[in-house]
Amino acid sequence: MTADRTDPEVPTPYGVVRGRWEHGVAVFRGIPYAAPPFGPRRFRPPVPPDPWDGVRDAGAFGPTAPKPPYSPAFARYLSDPDIPGDDCLNLNVWTPDPAPAARLPVLVWLHGGALTRGSSAVPVYDGHSFARDGVVLVSLNYRLGIEGFGLFPDAPADAGLRDQIAALEWVRESIAAFGGDPDLVTLAGQSAGAISAGALLAAPRARGLFRRAVLQSGAPGATERAKVRRIVRRMANRLKIPATAEAFAAVDRALLLRVQGEVGRLSSPVLGGPAFGIVVDDDVLPRDPLDALVAGDAAPGTDLLLGWTRDEYRLWLVPGGLLQRVDRLGAVALAGARARCRCGHDVPRGYRALHPDAGTAEIVGQMITDHLLRVPLHRLADARPGTSYVYEFAWPSNLPDLGACHALELGFVFDSGDLPDARRLAGEGAPRSLAEAMHTAWVRFAATGDPGWEAWDASHPVRVFDGAGSPHTVRGLRDREVALSGSGGGRRSRLRA
């Protein structure tokens, strides 16, 4: 169809949707890609939505997946809209030209939030800038926490991952009508969204559904099934029910979320407590994703953009005063970090030698960041030279103590730094030139597979985005820390953020 300035209408396999023109971009929100996952469909794989007659309004975000709220300490920095309703398996599309002839590159965004929080309605994920610059942006909701990643004897595993595959299948079938090219899809995510993208790279059912992938502050990996079972059993014990999907499905949803929040309060990446995670499952994910990708069995020829922020750990430690507490704990905190990273005394000593002026919290934080992120991402890039591009975001927030923390780069990637929600992490006065540089690199990667710097090779080029003039490439950045962490067992690390 030909786009005009009346409200745009686009057909999908299930019915016609009506969006809105906003600042020169057509926006469609809350489009269902699967049926509501409740009632008899609770804890089951997603199924297609019921078709509708007439035209469905797509002017507002759809319901978000059930999730507990952030603690007040984290809510100061991270917004997480809660939109009630059962029809939570929905997605949004931003496009400059909702016409089949446009054939524009597509970027599909998976939100973060530890697989327990977050949604596509977070304001920082606004897709206007991508559409303005010629990329169709799709963002989606998927089931979270016990609903999406609980492990039960009477239900299939990885329901949330199955949701993501269903959304990618919707994109494959439907995105051409919105002006996108179904053969030029980039899958991107941050934190838990990046972990999900890493799993989808290795999932046979997702093969052919995307061409490139962006992993921001999240590494491919699977959680041990026994660890996920433990958090399900702890919830079952508090609820005094069997640890089965049938029993959990009968529990009031608000009570379930409250208990999930109580049981998971120690599941930060630093503390390493009980957490939900993607698990190896013969039906969807037959092998550990990192192992499959390193071996070359998965996603052959897929271009990868991988990276982290310099001070990931500060978002995990600053809220609630953990940074100061870790510094006070001193040797006790270092012992905990050694246990968390499964390494010997030589590793923290090596970090201390590399960073003689750093406090205990910084040493602990960098050790855990390397263990969870840099080591597995280096390992992945080393196994796929020539098609991997690596970056580090190093601009420090204007807010006290945050540094270049986890999730700070999002407002720059989406070029949404003018929004109040982006300023929650960045503060006032974030450099516009840095947003232009990062956003342009992501647009280039989605369109061409080349973000604008050298692909990974034996010299380990890393693009540094620090706001000090133009981005620049450093070779061998963090190699010494990665070598220390990797020698201590970090090569088998798993991210829980």
Q: Which residues are catalytically annotated?
A: 191, 312, 406
Between CA 160 and CA 278 the distance in angstroms is 9
Could you tell me the sign of the dihedral formed by the alpha carbons of 292, 217, 123, 304, in that order? negative
Token pair listed for 34: 């699967």
Burial class (CB within 10 angstroms; exposed 0-12, middle 13-18, buried 19+) of 3: middle
Token pair listed for 432: 């516009």
Collapsing DSSP states into helix, strand and coil, what is residue 426? Answer: helix
Q: Which residue has the tokens 């407002």?
A: 411
Could you tell me the sign of the dihedral formed by the alpha carbons of 444, 447, 448, 449, in that order? positive
Cβ atoms within 10 Å, residue 429: 9
Between CA 137 and CA 133 the distance in angstroms is 10
Considering only CA atoms, which of 144, 194, 171 is closest in space to residue 43?
144
Token pair listed for 406: 């986890």
